[in-house]
Amino acid sequence: MLNWALTFLIIAIIAAVLGFGGIAGTAIGIAKIIFFVAIALFLISALAGAIRGRRPPL
């Protein structure tokens, strides 16, 4: 997911340099959303792993 966020960030930078403000704004918005979703999923995964690690083995 972070790869997608980085891809949209690069697209936004290239679009901004070439003067396409609307496309750049949209791409940076998408990159922000994907970045925060990736962070949220990472935190949920880390919490689930920590909880799962506390159980005694079966």
* pLDDT beyond 80 at 54: no
pTM for the full model?
0.72
- pLDDT tier at 58, thresholds 50, 70, 90: low
Buried b (16+ CB within 10 A) or exposed e, 4-33: ebeebbebbeebeeeeeeeebeebbebbee
**Tens-digit pLDDT profile for residues 4-28:** 888 988 999 999 999 998 888 898 8
Q: What is the pLDDT of residue 43?
A: 92
- pLDDT tier at 53, thresholds 50, 70, 90: confident
Phi, psi of 55 (to 5 degrees): -75, 145
| Residue 19, SS3 per DSSP | coil
